[in-house]
Structure 1
Amino acid sequence: MDDEADLRELLVITLGRMKLDAQAVGTVSEARRALQENTFDLCLTDMNLPDGDGIELVRHINQHIPELPVAMITAYGNMETATLAMKEGAFDFIAKPVSLDRLRRLVDDGLGIRDKAPSGASLEQLVGEAPSMQQLRTQIAKLARSQAPIYISGESGSGKERVARLIHTLGPRHEKPFIAVNCGAIPSELMESEFFGHRKGSFTGAFEDRKGLFREADDGTLFLDEVADLPLHMQVKLLRAIQEKSIRPVGEAKEFDVNIRIVCATHKDLSEEVVQGRFRQDLYYRLNVIETRVPPLRERREDIPLLVQHIMTRLCQQWQIDAPALSREARDVLQQYSFPGNVRELENILERALTLADGPTIEVRHLQLREQNETPASNGSSREASRPASQPLEDYLQEIEKREILRALDATLWNRTAAAKKLGMTFRSLRYRLKKLGLDQGGDDDENE
């Protein structure tokens, strides 16, 4: 739908060459009448129309025909309109003058929302029955159909990447790549190359061509974790890449079109980062078209038993062991714990407990919760203040060694390189001790030796 007859004719001809039937109208009222009388697979609407605007039509479709994908045609550079349209329910936008290649990709994406229904993906992968989790699952189901940028807020360890992956796997891009990158883990001087790629010889150390994350994620989803850690100079380049839907590798003369969905997350308050001048306001509005929040575990304590059962089952299957039971006291302690590290901390606690438990039951002492470990030994009440007379000294020392190693691993989220540094030993020495104490899970090494 467009008020320019020439553009309407161009759209009909282009869609016809794609072997698609199209009906063109010039006003909001004509569009509503056509939607009432016919069934469509996709709607394209301009912003400015003689009797209203495209946003009005987007709202109408979202309310009365929510299964119909709708995209907005905007004036060049008018990102405010594009952002508003996607907030109201449009799955994407295209700017004038309309590029036929981009139009074809937009139409393919829109039709794919209906045609490419994923198999095997389920919202039940998100464990929890708390009202906040039920609301999150409902929101994810809606977000999966859209192509709008999404900002996922939530504390560290709450499951933001899991939500991002679900949005991808439940959407029309599920057969395409899902590329996740931690923005805080890339050195500032390498960011442009990592994101956009480079030509061989474009700088010292560029020994071969590199595609970059944007092109690796082409037709799929790019998940920018900890996006608040991007330096300001990279925020400018990222904003341009998102708006233009094209990137230029370092040392390359031409640009490459990219068709990706951006999903970002951070544990920081991104709006506060904008206020403090650490994050560009224009990029914030471009990324935060739709926001979804992952609740911390302490706000959904009723889900703790379900999560414990789910995690224990998975770990025991991986380790090929019989699942031990949790004592009533251990269950009560977990239910009351504050979980500053959220679900990730619960997974670490249970993994550690399975390692320490030497019988069919996990007791409170096997959990070694953070609040317990921080109890000063000087108060005389610590269970570990002195060696029991019946316990051999070698066993007692080995227990202390195991406990300190597990504390370091827990503090570093089981990053063995970081844990070795925290313990003041080499990575090789820590790996030896892990094997000696039966704590080595056979995982990949954290560093190359």
Structure 2
Amino acid sequence: MNDNQVLLIEDDELLGGALLQRLRLEGISTQWVQSCGQAVELFRRTRLRPAFLLADIRLPDGSGEDLYRRLIPHLASTTVVFATAYGDIAQAVRLVSAGANDYLTKPYDTDALVARIRSVIAAQPAGHHDAVLENPYALNDETHALAQELERLAASTLPVLLEGETGSGKDRAARYLHARSPYRDGPFVAVNCATLATDLVESLLFGHLKGAFSGASAAREGLFSQAAGGTLYLDEVAELTPRAQAALLGVLENGQYRPLGDSTARQTHCRVLASTCTDLQAAMAQGSFRADLFYRLAVARLATPPLRHRPGALPVLARAILAEQSATQASLSSEALQALQKYAWPGNVRELKNRIARAVVMADGALLQGSDLFPEQKLVDKPDLAATRLDAEQRAIQQAISESGGHMGQAARLLGISRTTLWKKLKTGRNESGAD
């Protein structure tokens, strides 16, 4: 599980800032973004896997339904809750029917929200990485040549650059390279290079001694030290800043590094693997990636194909993932297998894993259907929105009138509208079956 256990998607700076502060004061690791686009980019760059996601249903660049469609490929066991104003209840109901866990009506009880988040986090299993014992490309004939190439590279000590789309299996291939290499008995240390974009990149890579700089109250091991005797895996290496590229190049050129504050150079004792979903040749032409670093990392190159280019692997791969993630002997219906084959898989194997994990949690039975794997498709054939919204409004109005003992002024205050608006909505409900 990623350290960011809660993701807030809220464009209201006052509300978002207040929630962020409250959750962090409660000791709950939280990330906050303010748009659909920022949320999608955060998942792409950091492989975020939050336990709890709270999103406003109205954002500057899309609705709750827009957001859900874009994020569903990244969501596995995440609890998804939408926050909605009174007028958006119908959309919130549609989202829950399409697979979101719940919705809250603003203003909501923050204490109750915190308690709920704590219970969700407490129920999360401890994070782990599956042991990679089998060649991930040995599933079928489509990738037989790639499986053989992976075997040859695994037995070597060469640096390898894994190239391919996001989620196409680069991480699993890297772990297999380590597991079958001469470094197999050492640690496998993976780092997302986007997290190295700080002024402390040298400390993160090489470590530092106590007192090496202001704030260095204790010594710290760097990544090269942590990976000694094993493999250092630089995930999404194109995300390295120019400063980080220069620091890394120096180590790869001479095989030595020096922790900050230490006058003695240390020898590296690890294999370096790297991955990218970016065209590094184009990045070099644009000047955003160093050519000398590229040739150090790409002594050997391996291209991981997207899932849509190996459809023959889908049934076997899906069943294997399901077996890993389900403790209840869940299975895939023939209709679900057909739905898998028809889909283009923009998020590749990672999306397949996420969709299966979420389907196992949300499905009504042990036999998974296409609608369990692709719940967002329920949002395509929308019901009569005007009628749905009117019905939701009338239910809310009647509840407010009941709670206020029939006092219309108090009911209007509960709903956050004027008495005049309340009477108009009551009249609309009586006279027009499909009006807003």
RMSD: 2.5
Q: Deviations over 1:322-344 (max 9, x none)?
A: 31x33332221111101110011
2:307 to 287, 297, 314: 297
1:273 to 270, 278, 283: 283
* Whole-angstrom distance in 2 between the partners of 1:387 and 1:261: 62
Per the TM alignment, residue 374 of structure 1 is displaced from its structure 2 partner at its CA by 6.6
2:265 aligned with 1:237: no
Q: Matched residue of 2:221: which SS? A: coil
Tell me which amino acid in the other structure corresponds to 1:322: Q
Give the match for residue 148 of structure 1: 158
* Whole-angstrom distance in 2 between the partners of 1:353 and 1:339: 16
Query: Does the CA contact (< 8 Å) of 1:349 and 1:369 recur in 2?
Result: no
Give the match for residue 368 of structure 1: 374
- Unpaired runs of 5+ residues, structure 2, are 1-130, 397-436
Query: Does the CA contact (< 8 Å) of 1:184 and 1:230 recur in 2?
Result: yes
Per the TM alignment, residue 127 of structure 1 is displaced from its structure 2 partner at its CA by 5.9
2:332 aligned with 1:344: no
Tell me which amino acid in the other structure corresponds to 2:244: M
Give the match for residue 164 of structure 1: 174
* Whole-angstrom distance in 2 between the partners of 1:128 and 1:263: 23
- Aligned pair in 2 of structure 1 residues 177, 278: CA closer, same or farther (>3 Å)? same
Give the match for residue 128 of structure 1: 139
Give the match for residue 260 of structure 1: 270
Give the match for residue 260 of structure 2: 250
* Whole-angstrom distance in 2 between the partners of 1:125 and 1:368: 25
Per the TM alignment, residue 271 of structure 1 is displaced from its structure 2 partner at its CA by 1.0
Q: Matched residue of 1:265: which SS? A: strand
* Whole-angstrom distance in 1 between the partners of 2:259 and 2:343: 48
2:382 aligned with 1:382: yes
Query: Does the CA contact (< 8 Å) of 2:231 and 2:271 recur in 1?
Result: yes
- Aligned pair in 2 of structure 1 residues 374, 184: CA closer, same or farther (>3 Å)? farther
Q: Matched residue of 1:148: which SS? A: coil
- Aligned pair in 2 of structure 1 residues 335, 160: CA closer, same or farther (>3 Å)? same
- Aligned pair in 2 of structure 1 residues 187, 373: CA closer, same or farther (>3 Å)? farther
Query: Does the CA contact (< 8 Å) of 1:151 and 1:265 recur in 2?
Result: yes
* Whole-angstrom distance in 1 between the partners of 2:255 and 2:387: 65
Q: Matched residue of 1:358: which SS? A: coil
* Whole-angstrom distance in 2 between the partners of 1:383 and 1:322: 35
Q: Deviations over 1:217-258 (max 9, x none)?
A: 112111000111111122112111011111011121111111
Give the match for residue 312 of structure 1: 322
Kindly report structure 1 stretches of 4+ aligned residues shifted beyond 6 Å. none
Tell me which amino acid in the other structure corresponds to 1:382: K
Query: Does the CA contact (< 8 Å) of 2:196 and 2:240 recur in 1?
Result: no
Give the match for residue 335 of structure 2: 329
2:363 to 344, 357, 365: 357
* Whole-angstrom distance in 2 between the partners of 1:127 and 1:344: 18
- Aligned pair in 2 of structure 1 residues 309, 383: CA closer, same or farther (>3 Å)? farther
Per the TM alignment, residue 124 of structure 1 is displaced from its structure 2 partner at its CA by 4.0
Per the TM alignment, residue 361 of structure 1 is displaced from its structure 2 partner at its CA by 2.5
Give the match for residue 224 of structure 2: 214
Q: Matched residue of 2:175: which SS? A: helix
* Whole-angstrom distance in 2 between the partners of 1:361 and 1:296: 27
Q: Matched residue of 1:339: which SS? A: coil
* Whole-angstrom distance in 2 between the partners of 1:387 and 1:330: 32
Per the TM alignment, residue 155 of structure 1 is displaced from its structure 2 partner at its CA by 0.8
- Aligned pair in 2 of structure 1 residues 387, 136: CA closer, same or farther (>3 Å)? farther
- Aligned pair in 2 of structure 1 residues 322, 122: CA closer, same or farther (>3 Å)? closer
Query: Does the CA contact (< 8 Å) of 1:128 and 1:307 recur in 2?
Result: yes
* Whole-angstrom distance in 2 between the partners of 1:331 and 1:309: 10
2:232 aligned with 1:226: no
How high is the TM-score relative to the length of structure 2? Answer: 0.56
- Aligned pair in 2 of structure 1 residues 293, 383: CA closer, same or farther (>3 Å)? farther
* Whole-angstrom distance in 2 between the partners of 1:337 and 1:191: 40
Query: Does the CA contact (< 8 Å) of 1:127 and 1:306 recur in 2?
Result: no
* Whole-angstrom distance in 2 between the partners of 1:322 and 1:289: 44
* Whole-angstrom distance in 1 between the partners of 2:280 and 2:225: 26
Per the TM alignment, residue 282 of structure 1 is displaced from its structure 2 partner at its CA by 0.7
Q: Matched residue of 2:326: which SS? A: helix
Tell me which amino acid in the other structure corresponds to 2:134: L
Query: Does the CA contact (< 8 Å) of 2:197 and 2:240 recur in 1?
Result: no
Q: Matched residue of 1:366: which SS? A: helix
